[in-house]
């Protein structure tokens, strides 16, 4: 047994509504010795994502529920510091599904995604591999392309538009020739969307007198594709404004993760308007990852894709970073920095 120890966050209890600090516990555990084929990774960044709220519930979902008294997991970026595997060398940068801890050994179960991928730091900053170049970026790319099928000249409406997924959706939408309208929760986010991300219109949904009126004004030709990250009033509004044969990409509904929110009473609009509402999980389209990396790497190199990050320092602050997602405290991707290299 090595003497190396790793701090990790375990799930202590399941929240009823908004999670709080007492649902989490920071513990220190020994790191097992490496066996043949294994690697030891020092995590540099870990991801907190809205979808993780679902893993706090004790129900079957697409990602396994976290178990009480066990370490949580999720996306992480790390560096190989010991290797008994012919496929990885000390110094390699890797993405794993073994976040919420300082060190991981490659056979630890429960990673999501389970695959360990080497990454090319030339494509972008390390933290981007759990953001724009990672799962959130892939979510934007595959959801918009595979489900949304936007055409040149169509209007794309994006909620949570400055977020880790939304900001990338907006900019891919522009690259694909759409008129793009985003909704976000502060004037600062709205300004960034217009000035940096290059959307055509952006709305502060918290200060708009009436969301429906504001979105209708920003989308004079209606909405052809709606990228849904929020649920609730945003979905009702989009349904009211969708054009015939419009598509609604059901990616997330963050407004509904912690408390019940009424469903859309106007869903019947989908009948006469021939709408398609379609849900997806990014891992289903993971075979597109190489194509995504090529496209995204090129777009980043050309300066066509920008993003914001909110960086929280230290594993002990990961629960607060996670909880902050539901208060909109992140501007862009929320990442937790665990260590310098």
Question: Which residues would be at the binding site for its own copies (CB under 8 A)?
Answer: 54, 61-62, 231, 235-236, 250-253, 256, 260-281, 284
CB of residue 260 vs its own copies: minimum separation in angstroms?
6
Tell the smallest beta-carbon distance from residue 104 to its own copies (Å).
25
Determine the straight-line distance between the first and last CA of the chain, rounded to whole angstroms.
24
Question: 68 or 270: whose CB is closer to its own copies?
Answer: 270
Phi, psi angle pair for 61, to nearest 5°: -145, -175
Is the CB of residue 286 less than 8 Å from the CB of residue 9? no
- At closest approach, how far in Å is the CB of 279 from its own copies? 4
Minimal distance, residue 287 CB to its own copies, in Å: 15
- What is the spatial distance between Cα 10 and Cα 29, in angstroms, rounded to a whole number? 11
Is 93 in contact with 118 (CB distance < 8 Å)? yes
Q: Phi then psi for 322, rounded to 5 degrees? A: -65, -50
Residue 55 and residue 70: Cα distance in Å, rounded? 12
Q: At what angle do helices 166-175 and 289-301 cross, to 10 degrees?
A: 80
Specify the residue, 34 or 281, whose C-beta has the smaller distance to its own copies. Answer: 281
Q: What angle do CA 133, 190, 208 make, to 5 degrees?
A: 135
Cβ closest to its own copies, residue 35 vs residue 61: 61
Least distance (Å) between residue 75 CB and its own copies: 18
Residue closer to its own copies, measured from CB, 26 or 65: 65
Cβ closest to its own copies, residue 84 vs residue 278: 278
Q: Are strands 93-96 and 76-83 parallel, antiparallel or unpaired?
A: antiparallel
């Amino acid at each position: 047994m090595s003497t190396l120890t790793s701090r990790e966050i375990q799930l202590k209890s399941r929240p009823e509504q908004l999670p709080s600090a007492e649902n989490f516990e920071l513990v220190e555990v020994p790191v097992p010795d490496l066996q043949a084929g294994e690697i030891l990774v020092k995590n540099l960044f870990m991801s907190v994502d809205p979808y993780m709220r679902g893993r706090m519930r004790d129900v079957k979902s697409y990602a396994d529920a976290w178990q009480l008294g066990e370490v949580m997991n999720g996306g992480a970026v790390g560096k190989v510091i010991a290797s008994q595997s012919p496929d990885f060398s000390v110094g390699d940068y890797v993405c794993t599904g073994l976040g919420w801890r300082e060190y991981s050994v490659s056979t630890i179960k429960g990673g999501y995604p389970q695959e360990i991928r080497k990454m090319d730091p030339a494509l972008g900053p390390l933290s981007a591999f759990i953001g724009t170049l990672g799962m959130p970026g892939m979510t934007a790319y595959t959801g918009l392309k595979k489900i949304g099928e936007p055409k040149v000249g169509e209007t794309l409406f994006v909620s949570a538009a400055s977020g880790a997924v939304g900001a990338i959706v907006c900019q891919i939408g522009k690259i694909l020739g759409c008129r793009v309208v985003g909704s976000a929760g502060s004037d600062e986010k709205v300004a960034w969307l217009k000035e940096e991300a290059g959307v055509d219109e952006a709305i502060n949904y918290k200060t708009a007198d009436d969301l429906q009126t504001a979105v209708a004004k920003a989308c004079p030709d209606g909405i052809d594709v709606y990228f849904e990250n929020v649920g609730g009033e945003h979905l009702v509004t989009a349904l009211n404004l969708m054009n015939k044969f419009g598509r609604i990409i059901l990616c997330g509904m963050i407004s509904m993760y912690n408390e019940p929110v009424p469903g859309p009473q106007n869903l019947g609009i989908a009948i006469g308007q021939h709408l398609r509402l379609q849900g997806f999980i990014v891992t289903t389209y993971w075979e597109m990852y190489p194509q995504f990396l090529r496209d995204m790497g090129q777009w980043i190199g050309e300066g066509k894709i920008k993003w914001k990050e909110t960086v929280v320092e230290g594993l002990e602050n990961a629960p607060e970073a996670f909880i902050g997602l539901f208060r909109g405290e992140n501007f862009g991707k929320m990442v937790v920095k665990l260590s310098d290299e």
